[in-house]
């Protein structure tokens, strides 16, 4: 199930990634959206390519993307693509290889597959999670690596962490989640609110790997909401997730 959708998302992400890499090499124009958030011509071009490929292949599936005008039409769809053409635009413009194309498919609010592709490193992370089960908690880790945002790291805005933690800054939250799902790092978190398109594909990858994914308050994530935002993020194997959440409760 969802094999065709997963392959289409992989193919579309590779094609958009090739265009993003080409634009980065040749020089790319950029500006600011409302709120001073960065946007580049590569974001817009990738958004166009992904939308064209995925809606042509699956015309009855809804659409939610950072670079498209959102409408309530998607709320009437059982299946919705949730897409960030470039998660980590700042890192992309700075030439840091910590950005990614993020594509998820959700069905009735739950992710069923995710693709996170880093064009700078050619890393393709892709998985379906519709039959995934959560791992049993593992033995307590004395030392563990937590992947956090560059801004949170540089401005010392990381939520409190239990003893034994070491943090590593990575630009894109989707890429951070993909790395944790693949075993590079033990947890990923942010205390800031995020848009659904930032975390939907990463959530699918982490669920496929048997990790626990919640918002900062410990609630499971729901997607294709009228207001498409989540209240922070924490993902880790269940035992470590519980340890971090318990520590947060003690510190508040």
Tell me the pLDDT tens digit for each residue of 44-75: 899 999 999 999 999 999 999 988 899 999 99
Q: Tell how strand 79-87 and strand 212-214 pair up.
A: unpaired
pLDDT category at 39 given cuts 50, 70, 90 is low
Inter-residue contact 116 to 201 (CB < 8 Å) = yes
Closest CA to 82 of 94, 95, 67: 67
| Residue 87: CB atoms within 10 Å | 31
pLDDT digits (tens, 9 = 90+) for 193-238: 999 999 999 999 999 999 999 999 999 999 999 999 999 999 999 9
Q: How, if at all, do strands 110-118 and 123-128 pair?
A: antiparallel
Phi, psi of 110 (to 5 degrees): -110, 135
115 forms beta bridges with 103, 126
In whole numbers, what is the pLDDT of the chain averaged over residues?
Answer: 92
Which domains are seen in the chain, by residue range? 3-128 (3.30.540.10), 144-251 (3.40.190.80)
pLDDT above 90 for 10: yes
Indicate whether 38 pLDDT > 70: no
Please tell me the predicted confidence (pLDDT) of residue 40: 75
Residue 74 DSSP code: G
Measured between alpha carbons, how far is 96 from 40 in angstroms, rounded to an integer?
Answer: 15
pLDDT of res. 1? 87
pTM: 0.94
């Amino acid at each position: 199930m969802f094999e065709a959708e997963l392959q289409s998302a992989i193919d579309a992400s590779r094609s958009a990634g090739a265009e993003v890499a080409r634009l980065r090499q040749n020089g790319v124009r950029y500006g600011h959206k409302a709120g001073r958030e960065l946007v580049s011509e590569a974001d817009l071009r990738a958004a166009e390519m992904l939308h064209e490929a995925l809606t042509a292949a699956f015309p009855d599936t809804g659409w939610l993307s950072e670079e498209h005008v959102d409408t309530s039409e998607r709320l009437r769809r059982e299946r919705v693509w949730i897409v960030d053409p470039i998660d980590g635009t700042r890192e992309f413009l700075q030439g840091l290889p910590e950005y990614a194309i993020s594509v998820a498919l959700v069905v009735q609010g739950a992710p069923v597959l995710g693709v996170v592709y880093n064009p700078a490193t050619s890393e393709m992370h892709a998985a379906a999670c519709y039959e995934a089960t959560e791992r049993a908690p593992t033995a307590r880790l004395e030392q563990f690596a937590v992947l956090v945002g560059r801004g949170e790291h540089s401005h010392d805005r990381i939520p409190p962490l239990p003893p034994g933690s070491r943090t590593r800054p990575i630009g894109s939250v989707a890429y951070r989640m993909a790395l944790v799902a693949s075993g590079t790092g033990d947890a990923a978190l942010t205390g800031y609110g995020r848009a659904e398109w930032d975390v939907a594909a990463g959530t699918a990858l982490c669920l496929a790997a048997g990790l626990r994914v919640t918002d900062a308050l410990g609630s499971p994530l729901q997607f294709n909401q009228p207001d498409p935002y989540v209240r922070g993020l924490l993902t880790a194997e269940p035992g470590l997730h519980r340890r971090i959440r318990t520590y947060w409760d003690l510190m508040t």
